Structure 1
Amino acid sequence: MSQVKVVEIFKSIEGEGKWIGLPVSFIRLEGCNLRCEWCDTPYSYDGKSFTLMDVDELVKRISEFRLKRVCITGGEPFLTEELPLIVKKLLEKGHTVLIETNGTLWNSGIKELLSGNLLITCSPKPPYYFIHPELLPHITELKYVVDETLSLGHIINEKTEKILKNDFIVLQPEGNRKEMVEKALYLQEEILKVGYESRVIPQCHKVLGLP
């Protein structure tokens, strides 16, 4: 039986991106290949805050929440070799699945599962904002944490222009800080100038005091 390292399973409202405010079941997988200085879930890659769980048991636990939508996050979910198996079993149970990734990795097993019920939110991270070329065509939402580093060129460039469309970019002010909100609004205006609309969305679950 396949086992995976699970940091936590819970249900809440989605606090980020275009699912914001909707009821969602969350699976947080262990491990991350990056170390962002403002990361708000360092326990997801500390190597000790996880439980080994059978994939079938994981899917059963999620189904018990009786929610349509499931978000697989981390850490970095693509570090988990069994990610395609988890997604396949969730889709078979009738769930809509969202994978949140930093975009640097890819698992070819995901490709055969791509459909309207599997969504991928890519949140490229500083300093390079690299997106794996195999992942790029399958992204359904780009989410950027607006910090001191982020610039317009990180958002709109030769690679991302291949997939950009309206209502595709989310700008998330880091830590919900006032100065980052102002920067997000500035970037939103700059993005408009090149022909695309974007959304400025804070981390609403933190505003509401939810997990």
Structure 2
Amino acid sequence: MKSLKKDLLKEEFKVVEIFRTIEGEGRWVGLPVVFIRLEGCNLRCSWCDTTYSYDGKSYTVKNLYDILSQVKQYNLKRVCITGGEPFMTENLDVLVKVLLDEGFYVFIETNGTMWNEKFREIKKDNLYITCSPKPPFYFVNKNILPYISELKFVVDENLSVNHIIKPEFTEILKNDIIVLQPESNKPEMVEKALKIQDELLKLGIESRIIPQCHKVLGLP
């Protein structure tokens, strides 16, 4: 951090929590990671399990120096920025760029509805963006599409194959980066995920069914 400008280290963020756990969802599942949960979300999903991330009172304002200091205490190389919706944080690009410059692999979990133009200036190396489109429209901002590393769909009562094979997802679907995540690990949603997986196979599309593994292990 010695090489970072003092003004940059003073950049402030609304942080709900920073903690060490394993990645419980998607293709990074099982890997040790430091979570940075930022405050705020533009959606209100009925099954959201982190409503405290947007209640407007569960956050602490931290500057970049304090965030980096806390992250480095865990001595890990992977950082996941989540929420809520992290792209609601206007200076998210600053946090991401600094983490990348400090040698971390950075993983962002987003619903895909928002965008930050300054991300065009960030190199994609070591930056992994998981987009989890949300019901009822499963809308994804066209500007973020080229940056998506993984599509993850929560399998709930709303999800259908048509939500997955939308034209704007065509290029991503070609790369076999589709994750089906049964809502809250419910048995009936596991069954539905298997059916959707079979429907996708008939279209020549492979997908992975991955539950919320951190919950299976009793981890945050």
TM superposition score category, shorter chain reference? over 0.9
Contact 1:166 1:197 (8 Å CA) reproduced: no
For residue 12 of structure 2, what is the aligned residue in structure 1?
A: 3
Aligned residue identity for 1:122: C
Using the TM superposition, give the Cα deviation of residue 19 of structure 1 relative to its aligned residue in structure 2, in angstroms. 0.4
* Range moving further from structure 2, 29-38 or 107-116: 107-116
Aligned residue identity for 1:32: C
For residue 144 of structure 2, what is the aligned residue in structure 1?
A: 135
> What is the aligned residue count?
211
Q: Which string of whole-angstrom CA distances, capped at 9 and with x for unpartnered residues, describes residues 35-65 of structure 1? A: 0000000000000000000012112211111
**TM-score, with structure 1 as normaliser:** 0.98
For residue 116 of structure 1, what is the aligned residue in structure 2?
A: 125
2: CA distance, partners of 1:157 / 1:137:
15
Using the TM superposition, give the Cα deviation of residue 166 of structure 1 relative to its aligned residue in structure 2, in angstroms. 4.1
Q: Is 1:43 paired with 2:44? A: no
Question: Structure 1: which 5+ runs fail to align?
Answer: none
In structure 1, the residue corresponding to 2:57 is in which secondary structure?
coil
Q: Among the aligned pairs, what percent are the same residue? A: 64
1: CA distance, partners of 2:102 / 2:174:
31
2: CA distance, partners of 1:185 / 1:116:
33
Counting only pairs closer than 5 Å after superposition, residues 33-72 of structure 1 correspond to structure 2 as 33-72=42-81
Q: Paired residue for 1:168, among 148, 168, 177?
A: 177
Counting only pairs closer than 5 Å after superposition, residues 19-34 of structure 1 correspond to structure 2 as 19-34=28-43
1: CA distance, partners of 2:85 / 2:150:
16
**TM-score, with structure 2 as normaliser:** 0.94
In structure 2, the residue corresponding to 1:163 is in which secondary structure?
helix
Using the TM superposition, give the Cα deviation of residue 87 of structure 1 relative to its aligned residue in structure 2, in angstroms. 0.5
Question: Structure 2: which 5+ runs fail to align?
Answer: 1-9
In structure 2, the residue corresponding to 1:144 is in which secondary structure?
strand
2: CA distance, partners of 1:42 / 1:87:
24
